[in-house]
Amino acid sequence: MLGFEFYVDPSRCIGCRSCVAACAECDSHRGQSMIHVDYIDRSNTIATVPMVCMHCDEPTCALVCPADAIKKGEDGVVRSALKPRCIACSNCVLACPFGVPKVHLEPELMMKCDMCYDRTSIGLRPMCATVCPSQALSYGPPEAIARQRTSVPVRDFRFGNEHVRTKVFIMMPEEHPVLDVDIEDYMWREPNEQAERWIIDQAVFS
Amino acid sequence: MAKPPVPVPELNAKFGPHLNFAPPGGWDKSARLGPDKLVKTHCSFCGMQCGIQLKVYENKVVGFEPWEEFPFNHGMLCPKGVKRYLQGDHADRLLTPLIRTEDGFKSISYEEALDTTARRISEIRDKYGPDAVAIYGGASMITEKAYVLGKFARVAIGTKNIDYNGRLCMVSAGTAYRLTFGIDRATNPWTDLVKAKVVLIAGSNTADCAPITTHYLWQCRENGGKLIVVDPRMTPITRNADLILPVRPGTDLALFLGMLHVIEREGLTNADYIEKYTTGWDAVRDSVRAWTPDRAAQITGVPPDSIVTAAHWIGQTDRAMGIHARGIEHHSKGVENCLAMINLFLSTGNVGREGAGCMMVTGQGNGQGGREHGQKADQLPGMRSITDPEARRHVSAVWGIDEKDLPGAGLTACEIMEAIHRGEIKALFSMCFNPVVSLPDANFTREALSKLEFFGVIDFFMSETAHYADLVFAGSLQEEDEGIICSAEGRVQKINKAVEPPGEAKSDALIICDLAKKLGKGKYFDFPSTREIYDELRRASQGGLADYYGITWERIEQELGVFWPCPDLDHPGTRRLFEDGKFWHKDGKAHFQVTEWRPSGAPLDAQFSLYLTTGRVVSHYLSGTQTRRIGPLVEQYPEPKAEIHPRLAAKHGIEDGDWVRVTTRRSSMTIQAIVVKTIRPDTIFIPYHWPGRRSANNLTHRTLDPRSKIPEYKVSACRIEKTSPPSDLDELRLEETGWSGASANGGSR
């Protein structure tokens, strides 16, 4: 839908798995869900996180695919692997920085979220974001999100030196415009210093 | 008259629960064909009553489509709503009436079933008197059915003994709201939650039991509002709570008294409001003087500072709201808990305005509507008291009967079961109720049902209660009837028929009317359809508290729901109560009620030194008759588990996933433990949706609140010990859950 964006706010997730249930309803994947909802650490907390495909600008899954089976559309949506091309090698599964794609043994095909292309192309919101009772998954115009939420949308992620920009936004507290997921990003380093130094240092000590 | 006619595993092999995973005809077929129509209606599970569109193909519900225009949920649905369509075309569906024989249940014709039921009820009534026949109703069915069932009991049978499973759900709140406000309804529309500056959430596992409400609460917080959560467990709603009050089970009342003490002591009451709009404050004020935060802390286990902070937050704002649910209501002082919570809001003037009010979160699909129009032991349609002479005259006139023939107040749901056990009630006819799973002390319930001389049931699946029946009518699912329900916020909504009942199954309302004809009372039940029942209901409710006269089916569809009271066709409905400062008592005022502390009905001792508390999980609904047959919902939470804190686990050498025996003064059960830091170390939680050996209600006790007659599900004294898994675990799983234990997702929570 024109101008609508996809937002994930893990702090709103109540772990109800309505998104998982709804995703499985899609006629194109017949009972299989493309979404994961995980407890972060059930023994210590009720906190859960929903994970959908983040639809990277430069999708690592596509870059590592030896069969050239994964395509990104002009709309920025990264599609599931093309059935005739996918060789079920699982390169994409290993390479995805967010752990999204899964290879299904039957029918030997990589499947992932395509942001409900069948729905958005006819003016409907993706199923998971429509049903989500807590709106941890949300699909709408950026102005509405800006008006309704105190958190801010973030779509730039640093994995060490690798910068990944995605189509999907994660909602974050205002003071974190870029989401650092690696401890190295919080370590002090000289300007222009390469991160490899820490590994070298360790080699020196060992 | 009997126990199950053949062993339960044999019944289960035939009638389920079996698990349905795919739409009718499988995924390929439904994908290929597409629906004939989309029917706008509501979910059959829970009091949120979310709007949903059902996809229908060849008289089968094959899927759903979100209904984004419906103003309550805007397309949002929980997993129960998403998968509810899988209940319709189900292998376990009862397609003919069944009669008990020595070889199990056998199909009989509808006529034969009507004749047998009418004959047996008449015989027992003639021999023992009409009150020896009892009727059970339920709050998960359309209001037309609830209405006609109430009339059936009183007019066709002439018994006073009719009650419903809302007795296990809404009655503590209802009694408290009648006492204080004079009316039993949520006071504010849900949109008010978003406008509140403080919301006190007490005993409500909102995320699991009313999932859509979560969005309202999160929006409240986005707007700068604060959430206070009162619960012995950290449920998902606590992940964004500003203040957590982990109360010891059964001590909510002390917490509220302590909070009111602080509000009063620090002058945070709204004296003008109290003076103008209420009575009884002085007695309440005096009663909380002794409830210092320290005293409340000693009883509740909540730090005094937290009690003071919570009181400050509510007392210092003009927009405080409270929502409460079974967590404070399922107690032998459930009414007092609600009264004391209401007092916090009434004393600070936080009532009857946008973002200010105190309300219950109704649990069952038609928990609100099901209690308004005459299947409650003490009420007539329109939320009228059955002992009020004027109400009796009005309803008798609408029904065309002599007021003298209208029975008085009868026994409540649990009391009916006790009267059956004592041998005073000889016949039971039950619809939309599964007491074997849902009543406390399940062994007692099973014993009682075995003593009945006649037990008739209407159900769409063979419930665990129907196992005990002499005769089972094949009834209708929600999507097979047209009528109305009333949602948790008091909005009357339209349920639309999507499909016809399959086989020889019939609309429940039709069965009731046909039975009335067989009992010689046909002229009072001449309803060609539920529409005519509704039109009579409107007249019967006219002038009552729950006045539906101005609400037509057409208006509901046009306006996407109408809030009662709505006394005439031009009336816009009442979204928010008490806006004009007028309450529903004769003097127009709200009546403060004094509450006195007392312990629970199952006190701890050296032998039983822990609290057992029960509740729900997000993927199941009530006694599970429906959701335990829907494959994806079963996979999400396949079997009950006991939540315990690591400190308690360590004391007994229990590790996550170990099997434990939980024992109360009535019974014990062997169940798997889940070790989590999100529950008080002195408390064990077990969800109650399952039957058989792992039914939480084997453990609970029959102490009732003296006024509301609700059982005390939320506190049972218990103990725990490590044990080995049942030797017949695989058979047990199949027998009780239809689940083989094979799923990768299974037991994820």
B691, pLDDT greater than 60: yes
In a shared domain, residues B238 and B223: yes
Q: Identify the CATH number of the domain defined by range A56-112.
A: 3.30.70.20
Q: What is the pLDDT of residue B406?
A: 98
Q: Cβ of A163: how many Cβ atoms within 10 Å?
A: 12
In a domain, B733, yes or no: yes
Query: What residues have CB less than 8 Å from B632, skipping those under 6 apart?
Result: A21, A24, B21, B79, B83, B86
* Domain end point (choices B39, B64, B87): B87
B96: DSSP letter: S
Q: Are B295 and B217 contained in the same domain? A: yes
Name the band, by pLDDT with cuts 50, 70 and 90, for residue B246.
very high
C-beta of residue B23 within 8 angstroms of C-beta of residue B30 = yes
Domain end position, chosen among B482, B516, B532: B532
How far is Cα B476 from Cα B478, in angstroms, rounded to an integer?
7
Asked if residue B118 and residue B51 are part of one domain, the reply reads no
Are B408 and B525 members of one domain? yes
Contact list, B64 vs chain A (CB under 8 Å): 25
* Residue range of the domain that includes B312: 171-360
Q: What is the pLDDT of residues B13-60, one digit of tens each?
A: 999 999 999 998 888 765 546 788 999 999 999 999 999 999 999 999
Q: Are residues B281 and B324 in the same domain?
A: yes
Give exposure, B166-191, as e/b (b: 16+ Cβ within 10 Å): bbbbbbbbbbbbbbbbbbbbbbbbbb
Kindly state the average pLDDT of the residues B470-498: 98
User: Is residue B204, in this structure, part of any structural domain at all?
Assistant: yes
**A134, B238: Cβ pair inside 8 Å?**
no
Question: What is this model's ipTM?
Answer: 0.94
CB B47 within 8 A of CB B368: yes
Q: Can you tell me the distance from the alpha carbon of B194 to that of A21, in angstroms, rounded to the nearest whole number?
A: 27
Q: What is the CATH number of the domain that holds B421?
A: 3.40.50.740
| Segment B200-229 mean pLDDT | 98
Q: From B29, which residue of chain A is nearest by alpha-carbon distance?
A: A27
pLDDT exceeds 80 at position A184: no
pLDDT digits (tens, 9 = 90+) for B366-394: 999 999 999 999 999 999 999 999 999 99
Residue B228 and residue B248 share a domain: yes
Residue B251 within any structural domain of the chain: yes
Q: Using CB atoms, pick whichever of A48, A131, A150 lies closest to residue B222.
A: A150
Q: B360, B378, B403 — which closes off a domain?
A: B360
Q: Does residue B402 sit within a domain?
A: yes
Q: Are B411 and B430 found together in one domain?
A: yes
CATH code, B227: 3.40.228.10
Domain contains B694? yes
Tell if the CB–CB gap between B239 and A47 is shorter than 8 Å. yes
Its CATH architecture, for the domain A1-52+123-206, is 2-Layer Sandwich (3.30)
Q: What's the N-to-C CA distance of chain A in angstroms?
A: 56
Per the CB < 8 A criterion, the answer to whether B642 and B684 are in contact is yes
Does B578 map to a domain? no
* pLDDT at residue B747, rounded to an integer: 39
**B47 located within any domain:** yes
Residue A98's CB is within 10 A of a number of other CB atoms, namely 18
Please state, in angstroms and rounded to a whole number, the distance separating the CA atoms of residues A149 and A134. Answer: 13
Give the per-residue pLDDT at B205. Answer: 98
| Band of pLDDT at residue A190, cut at 50, 70 and 90 | low
* Helix (H) and strand (E) counts in chain B: 26, 28
Inter-chain CB proximity B79 and A18 less than 8 Å: yes
A residues 86-115 lying closer than 8 A (beta carbon) to B: none
What mean pLDDT do residues B139-159 have? Answer: 98
**B401 and B412, same domain (yes or no):** yes
CA distance A138 to chain B (A): 11
Q: Do B77 and A149 touch (CB under 8 A)?
A: no
Indicate whether B31 and B165 sit together in one domain.
no
Which chain B residues in 178-217 lie under 8 Å from chain A, judged by CB atoms? 207-208, 211-212, 214-215
Q: For residue range B164-198, what is the model confidence (pLDDT) as tens digits?
A: 999 999 999 999 999 999 999 999 999 999 999 99
| Same domain, yes or no: B332 and B185 | yes
- How many C-beta atoms surround the C-beta of residue B58 within 10 A? 12
- What chain A residue is nearest to B207 in terms of C-alpha separation? A14
DSSP track, B159-174: -S-EEEGGGGTTHHHH
Could you give the CA distance from residue B289 to residue B296 in angstroms, rounded to a whole number?
12
Residues B35 and B125 in one domain: no
| pLDDT tens sequence across A119-160 | 988 899 999 999 999 999 999 999 999 999 999 999 999 887
Q: Are residues B112 and B133 in the same domain?
A: yes
Cα–Cα distance, B55 to B39 (Å, whole number): 7
**Range(s) for CATH 3.30.70.20 in chain A?**
56-112
Q: Which two tokens stand for residue B706?
A: 């003296």
Number of domains into which chain B is organized: 4
Segment B301-323 shows an average pLDDT of: 97
A31: contact with B, CB 8 A cutoff: yes
Per-residue confidence band for A182, with pLDDT thresholds at 50, 70 and 90: low
Q: What integer pLDDT is reported at residue A112 of this predicted model?
A: 81
Burial environment of residue B624 by CB neighbours within 10 A (0 to 12, 13 to 18, 19 or more): buried
Of B78, B234, B632, the CB nearest to A24: B632
**B87: Cα separation from own chain's centroid:** 20
pLDDT in tens, B89-142: 999 999 999 999 999 999 999 999 999 999 999 999 999 999 999 999 999 999
Residue A192 contacts B, CB cutoff 8 Å: no
Q: Is B749 a member of any domain?
A: no
Residues 6+ apart with CB under 8 A from B641: B671, B672, B673, B674, B686, B687, B747, B749
Least trusted range by pLDDT, from A180-184, B87-91, B554-558, B612-616: A180-184
Q: Measured between CB atoms, does A18 come within 8 Å of chain B? A: yes
Nearest CB among A11, A18, A48 relative to B82 is that of A18
Model confidence over B499-552: pLDDT tens digits? 999 999 999 999 999 999 999 999 999 999 999 999 999 999 999 999 999 999
pLDDT bucket at A117, cuts 50 / 70 / 90 = confident
